[in-house]
Amino acid sequence: MIRNARPSDWDDLMDIYARARRFMKQAGNPTQWGDSSPREQQIRDDIRLGHSYVYVLEGRVQAVFAMIPGEDPTYRVIQGAWLNDLPYCAVHRVASRGEVKGVATQVLEWCMDRCGNIRIDTHDDNLPMQHVLEKNGFVRCGRIWSEDGSPRIAYQKCR
């Protein structure tokens, strides 16, 4: 089940993001989230704005992500080309507890069912996420730059 994240989910979210940062480092991607991303205030804002969602299985929060409708400022400039210029949702901050296989696929399918036009990005070193995106039909569209100026691989999928 996927539902909006609640303030009462805070401890689970912090645990999942800490686990995701450790996994990224072990998988050869130490810089995408470093030791402190996503920022706590960003997570609080996602919850407050209704953009944060959790994947719950058997009463346990297994994953967290943000799905944000509307234009993402970091997606305005792309070296390459988006598949279309239609309204879209941006998916960010996808993280799993690592206990259940296929969670990212289920999250991406849920997002597509609700929006139908998804943009997402990931770090060059985040090979697991690149694999998940490409396995799920996302098209590599080019390169964008995150708020801190670091490059990311841009993906999109639309119906």
Grade residue 147 by pLDDT with cuts at 50, 70 and 90.
Answer: confident
For the segment 31-41, what is each residue's pLDDT rounded down to a tens digit? 888 888 899 99
Amino acid at the residue 3? R
Q: What is the pLDDT of residue 16?
A: 97
- Tell me the CATH number at 21: 3.40.630.30
Structural domain boundaries enclosing 80: 2-158
pLDDT higher than 90, residue 93: yes
> In a 10 Å sphere around its CB, with 0-12 CB exposed, 13-18 middle and 19+ buried, how is residue 28 labelled?
exposed
Q: Which tokens is 104 given?
A: 């990212």
Residue 117, beta-bridge partner list: 158
* Number of domains present in the structure of the chain: 1
Nearest to 90 by CA among 73, 68, 75: 68
For the segment 113-125, what is each residue's pLDDT rounded down to a tens digit? 999 999 999 999 9
Grade residue 130 by pLDDT with cuts at 50, 70 and 90.
Answer: very high
Q: What is the pLDDT of residue 36?
A: 81
